[in-house]
Amino acid sequence: MRPQPFLLTDTAFAALGAGRPDSDTLDTLRRAQLSRTLLLLREIRRRLPHTPAWYSRLTTAAPDEANRLIADPMTALWAAQALRAGNEATNHDLPQPGLPLTATAQDQILGVRVEDSSSVRHGLGLPPSAPLTTAERDHWQRCLDGAWQILASRHRPAAEMLAAVLKVIVPVRPDPAAEGISATSSEAFGAVAMSSPAGPAALAVGLLHETQHSVLNATNLLFDLVRPGGGPGYSPWRDDPRPASGVLHGTYAYLAVTRFWRTERTAGGGSGRAAEFEFARWRVAVAEAAELLIGGGELTEAGARFVAALLDEVRPWLAEPVEPEIERLATLARTDHRLRWRLRNLTVAPDDTAELAAAWRAGRPAPAVTSVLAPGTGRALENSPRLRLVRSLVKGQDAGQDEFAADGDAACVRGDDGAALRAYEMGLEKERDHDLTWAGLALVSPRPALRSRPEVVKAAAMAAPEAPVDALADWLSG
């Protein structure tokens, strides 16, 4: 019998790109993943001269149980790890199941396993936590109950997708520099790694975000969406440079996040302004990232169709009215991220920096210089004290009440650009090599060079320390 290809209609593919896959599409993705796992298991078995325990377990189990084991995301992850590790690992048995958690709301059931001791859980890319205590397990259950109530009652299509895809949660150690961390693996469809959630809403968003990654990973198994070989660039949701494939993943995940907050901002429950801020912030970021992907030339024909459907989904959201103060803060957060990203990841070559300093000292016009990616900046999740102040202000708290807030940051977030400008300029007089202060100055400065290329102004200021920063910025703006 000839193998049958996995096919999606144009309509189903467009709905998948828009983040609204139907049950038939999800079933196609799931069957494709099952086929991949079977191929991995066959290759592992082929390499062994004897019958391993895991093979006997699969071939002697009842059909339903064997299918369940083969379709399990941790089996797929184990198989991929075993093939990489060689014959010693391929003799090991399949991973044993972890702790079951179930949540029920609005006649919808979510059943998952918490894998806190499986030997393969490291393969999801983040350091796993220690086995959960009873109190920690209870916290996960309470958060899951609350998250599922939110999703099943107000986000029914998303809840249905989650119930069809999500099977495993791997608790991981928190990152002190981030509010919460999570990850998926292309080798474990339906498994997510997450740090302990702050509450039900945070868990709901995290599960939606990571399930989108899982769906896109499965889509990539069937369709090449991005051409290989492209270089890294700006990503609105990370502090490090990302290739086009990574930007696509972020865009697709944040499409689901934006849709969640779009609904939550009018749902009541006390999250209205905070939800509106997240919606206003991410709708623009998703649309801009999609436009850059389409115009960047790195998408395949299928990838271009996929992202076009995504953009068609988010574009009407840009016209939806948002409270002006919330829109200001959302724009501030997006701009702050882009400025900090440039200062962290872009640099000016030493020869160009020297030319800038020489031209300044000689009274010549500023020469044209090119910013390039700095080597080895490394992986980094978003981390901004100004964003924390913005969220405090959105919740109705005074941004100046934070005892750790810099004077410039508090003034900037309040909208007092004059006071913020003076504070940032004073800060740079004391320490010129401080990217957070440079980004703050660029946020409130009227000088175009600071807003568009802060890394060039900083490079010139470091090379010519005798020059006033505002004069250098005027010179480079001209």
Q: How confident is the model at residue 291 (pLDDT cuts 50, 70, 90)?
A: very high
Q: What is the pLDDT of residues 230-260, one digit of tens each?
A: 899 999 999 999 999 999 999 999 999 999 9
Count H helices, E strands: the chain?
A: 21, 7
Q: What is the pLDDT of residues 292-329, one digit of tens each?
A: 999 999 999 999 999 999 999 999 999 999 999 999 99
Q: Is 453 left (phi over 0), alpha (psi -120 to 50) or beta?
A: beta
The pLDDT of 437-463, averaged and rounded, is 96
Strand order from edge to edge, sheet including 182-183: 99-105, 108-114, 168-172, 191-195, 182-183
Q: Give residue 401's pLDDT.
A: 57
- Nearest-10 Cα torsion for 343, 347, 353, 355: -120
Q: What is the pLDDT of residues 429-439, one digit of tens each?
A: 999 999 999 99
Question: In this model, does residue 405 exceed pLDDT 70?
Answer: no
Question: In this model, does residue 402 exceed pLDDT 60?
Answer: no
Q: Provide the 8-state DSSP code for 35.
A: H
The pLDDT of 128-140, averaged and rounded, is 96
Tokens linked to 69: 């084991």
DSSP string, 62-98: -HHHHHHHHH-HHHHHHHHHHHHH-HHHHTSPPPPP-
Tokens linked to 309: 């459907």
This prediction has a pTM of: 0.94
Distance of CA 182 to the CA centre of its chain: 9
The pLDDT of 399-407, averaged and rounded, is 61
Tokens linked to 92: 């090991």
Three-class secondary structure of residue 23 per DSSP:
helix
Asked if residues 103 and 147 have their Cβ atoms less than 8 Å apart, the reply is: yes
Tokens linked to 373: 């990616």
Phi, psi of 309 (to 5 degrees): -65, -40
Among 64-68, 205-209, 220-224, whose mean pLDDT is lowest?
64-68
Of all residues in the chain, what percent carry a pLDDT higher than 70?
96
Q: 361-400 in b/e burial notation, b at 16+ Cβ within 10 A?
A: eeeeebeebebeeeeebeeeebebebbbbbbbbbeeeebb
The pLDDT of 206-218, averaged and rounded, is 97
Asked if residues 326 and 272 have their Cβ atoms less than 8 Å apart, the reply is: no
Asked if residues 449 and 477 have their Cβ atoms less than 8 Å apart, the reply is: yes
Q: How confident is the model at residue 1 (pLDDT cuts 50, 70, 90)?
A: very low
Q: What is the pLDDT of residues 163-182, one digit of tens each?
A: 999 999 999 999 887 778 99
Higher pLDDT, residue 42 or 379:
42
Question: In this model, does residue 93 exceed pLDDT 90?
Answer: no
Q: List helix spans (H) across 103-229.
A: 134-154, 156-165, 200-222
Question: In this model, does residue 376 exceed pLDDT 80?
Answer: no
Asked if residues 453 and 461 have their Cβ atoms less than 8 Å apart, the reply is: no
Asked if residues 464 and 360 have their Cβ atoms less than 8 Å apart, the reply is: yes
Q: 144-182 in b/e burial notation, b at 16+ Cβ within 10 A?
A: bbbbbbbbbebbeebbbbbbbbbbbbbbbebeeeeebbb
What is the C-alpha separation between 2 and 77, in angstroms, rounded? 28
Asked if residues 40 and 83 have their Cβ atoms less than 8 Å apart, the reply is: yes
Question: In this model, does residue 271 exceed pLDDT 90?
Answer: no
